[in-house]
Amino acid sequence: MPVNVGLDISAYTVDAVIRQGDKASQPKQYKQTVEGHAALISQLKKVKPALIVMEATGIYYFDLAVALADAGLPVAVINPKSFRHFAELKLQTSKSDGIDADLLAEYGQRMAPALWTPPDQQHQMLRSLGRQINRLVGSRAQAKNRLHALKATRSTPALLIEDEQEGIATLERRIERLRQAALELMAEAPVLQRQYEHLLAAKGVGEATALSVLAELCVLP
């Protein structure tokens, strides 16, 4: 009988259930790390699944889905709304990681969703650049708030103010370097460049917003 696998993904763990026919294994948990993914892939290769099913929820599914596809494993990334309807049809109101993983495996068995194709390297690179830029922008905002607080107190040594200003300047250089790298990447990818220009054409959307939005949207089907 074909083997179907359900993966329920959270921020720190992945619960896997292997289903053959109507018999499901006990859920096994793996860490959401490179090492955890490698251990999961090693186990999945042994059982040779017909399909591995996960939901496209949050930001945590993507790296694992890419790793599975790169390992030559058949993975399907399904719409959470579709899975919720399936659970309702099964009259499954209880919710736990193990139960969800089992239902995802059964979803693969009953519904046979299409295989997922990972985005190309340019799209993945833009996503990584966009997220790092967003993190640095957040750090810069925090640093500017700290600087404002330091300047509001007479007793603050000048050295502390200078140190915070140097930190902000460093963050701005890093942001600009990554922004230029993202622009060069899009210039080499006609589809990404066209999408970026379309976003810029929208009223109220500037370069920073267009880049941030496109970095997330470009990896979606």
Domain termination residue (choose one: 111, 130, 164): 111
Distances (CA, A) of 57 to 23, 35, 77, 80, 182: 26, 22, 9, 7, 25
Other residues' Cβ atoms within 10 Å of the Cβ of residue 24: 19
Write out pLDDT tens, residues 65-89.
999 999 999 999 999 999 999 988 8
Give the separation between CA 157 and CA 155, rounded to whole angstroms.
6
50 and 98 assigned to the same domain: yes
pLDDT recorded at residue 93: 63
Mean pLDDT of 124-140: 97
pLDDT recorded at residue 174: 98
Distances (CA, A) of 127 to 1, 70, 78, 216: 39, 18, 20, 6
Structure tokens at 5: 């696998």
Give the CATH number of the domain where residue 46 resides.
3.30.420.10
Q: How confident is the model at residue 96 (pLDDT cuts 50, 70, 90)?
A: low
Given a contact cutoff of 8 angstroms between Cβ atoms, the answer to whether 41 and 68 are in contact is yes
pLDDT recorded at residue 192: 97
Mean pLDDT of 205-219: 95
Write out pLDDT tens, residues 5-59.
999 999 999 999 999 988 999 999 999 999 999 999 999 999 999 999 999 987 8
pLDDT recorded at residue 125: 96
Is residue 33 situated within a structural domain? yes
Write out pLDDT tens, residues 148-164.
999 999 999 999 999 99
Quick check: helix, strand or coil at residue 149? helix
Is residue 116 situated within a structural domain? no
Is residue 100 situated within a structural domain? yes
Is residue 203 situated within a structural domain? yes
What is the share, in percent, of the chain residues with pLDDT greater than 90?
Answer: 89
Closest CA to 126 of 173, 175, 181: 181
Is residue 165 situated within a structural domain? yes
Mean pLDDT of 165-187: 98
Give the separation between CA 15 and CA 37, rounded to whole angstroms.
11
96 and 51 assigned to the same domain: yes
Domain termination residue (choose one: 111, 140, 162): 111
Is residue 72 situated within a structural domain? yes
Given a contact cutoff of 8 angstroms between Cβ atoms, the answer to whether 133 and 176 are in contact is no
Mean pLDDT of 106-114: 95
Distances (CA, A) of 221 to 18, 32, 86, 116: 26, 23, 21, 9
Q: Report if pTM > 0.85.
A: no
**pLDDT at residue 94 tops 70:** no
Give the separation between CA 7 and CA 27, rounded to whole angstroms.
9
Closest CA to 11 of 48, 41, 36: 36
127 and 206 assigned to the same domain: yes
What is the share, in percent, of the chain residues with pLDDT greater than 70?
Answer: 97
Contacts of 204 (CB under 8 A, 6+ apart): none
131 is in which domain, residue-wise?
Answer: 121-217
**pLDDT at residue 95 tops 80:** no
pLDDT recorded at residue 28: 96
